[in-house]
Amino acid sequence: MERRQFLGAVAAGCGGCALARPDGLEAEPFQDPFQASRPLAAEEGGLNPVPARWNKALPNGWVECGVCPRGCKISEGERGTCGTRENRKGQLYTLVHSRPCALGLDPVEKKPFFHVLPGSLALSLATPGCNLECRCCQNWEIAQARPEQVRTMSLPPAEVVSLAKQKGAPLLACTYTEPVVFAEYVVDIAQAGRKAGLRTVVISNGYVQEQPLADMCREIAAYKVDLKGMDEGFFKRHTGGELKHVLETLRRLRRGGTWTEIVYLVIPGQNDSEAEARSLARFVRDEVGPETPVHFTRFHPSYRLQNVPSTPIATLDRCRSAAITEGLRFVYLGNVPGHPGESTYCPACGKPLIRRTGMAVLENRMKGGACPDCHRTIPGLWV
């Protein structure tokens, strides 16, 4: 598929399957632009080898990847765990730069970011690959695949920016899979976006080393971390990674001053105890900040957890209450359309500030980043 066709498909896709928004704009899930495309085997496997950043050479032509805490040591011809970084003659290449496999125009609430330009559109994209393997992965077809196994399209950062401007999206979102594995692309998109007056947000598992995180945070506006659990054993079983690295990322985000929101997917019988919710809340309160928004989201069966039922609403309510009791100021529920826990309330006077349902903003009463009634400042990126 040529880029022009692809962009045409974006435009066409944006005309259908619209999600009505109260301000009259339309946020449209992007339609599959690849339906008519041919397999990419004839297109160099859809790969775009670009020298990778954040790595160091080892003896015998090996390379140590420095993007995520796995620190994969990669021999000639091999790839790291994410499947997106390949050693070619002693040089590590990212194979996914400028090769998104998913592209959408979403409300920022879908990410979810509730304290970043509420009601705004985010041009959202992903490349294939992930450095974890969560048993509930919602996008496993693209996140758990190697890049050549997924249809992709060439979309350099400048094209991303121009597409966002064309669609009236003030935000660029690196999301759906794991932006850490395409961190070079994230940085380049964010730089190009910043020059054009657009902000970039990252939706990540937080499994990232210090330097690439710092380099991303210099360019982006906000970082959302999917905190999968608060128990190291569960985290290992569920994702294959180590929780301590994600907690360290959250501390680094706090120290660096990057706007951060946290999502905790509540999985019945696995990470849904009140004790875990309290543990999470205490960690956030003490080490990230009590004003950090935390979203408890509802699990639905997916990927390898097909036999686990959806999260009962009562469980989510219990988690939310526990987190509020522990001192968090902005605790939300997700994937529960119409629940009062989707809305933002002033921690001082308790009045609703932003009323939401699903991914739509029904009412935004905020004035200059503060409560219009008691003038309490509400943290976030509001303008």
Q: Residues in the site for another protein, rule: CB under 8 A?
A: 39-41, 45-46, 60-62, 73, 75-83, 87, 133, 140, 144-146, 148-150, 240, 303-304
> Is the Cβ–Cβ distance between 285 and 326 less than 8 Å?
yes
CA-based torsion, 166, 358, 369, 251: positive or negative: negative
**Smaller CB distance to another protein: residue 35 or 60?**
60
| Least distance (Å) between residue 302 CB and another protein | 11
Select from 51, 46, 57 the least CA-distant residue to 1. 46
**Smaller CB distance to another protein: residue 143 or 220?**
143
| Least distance (Å) between residue 149 CB and another protein | 5
| Least distance (Å) between residue 139 CB and another protein | 13
Count of beta carbons in the 10 Å neighbourhood of residue 312: 13
Separation CA 350–CA 107 (nearest Å) = 26
**Smaller CB distance to another protein: residue 97 or 111?**
97
Tokens, residue 360:
């739509």
Tokens, residue 313:
């609403």
Alpha carbon separation from 70 to 132, 186, 207, 209, 367 (Å, rounded): 10, 20, 9, 9, 44
| Least distance (Å) between residue 199 CB and another protein | 32
**Smaller CB distance to another protein: residue 33 or 129?**
129
**Residues forming a β-bridge with 352:** 345
- What is the rounded radius of gyration, in angstroms, for the C-alpha atoms of the chain? 20
**Smaller CB distance to another protein: residue 120 or 270?**
270
| Least distance (Å) between residue 183 CB and another protein | 17
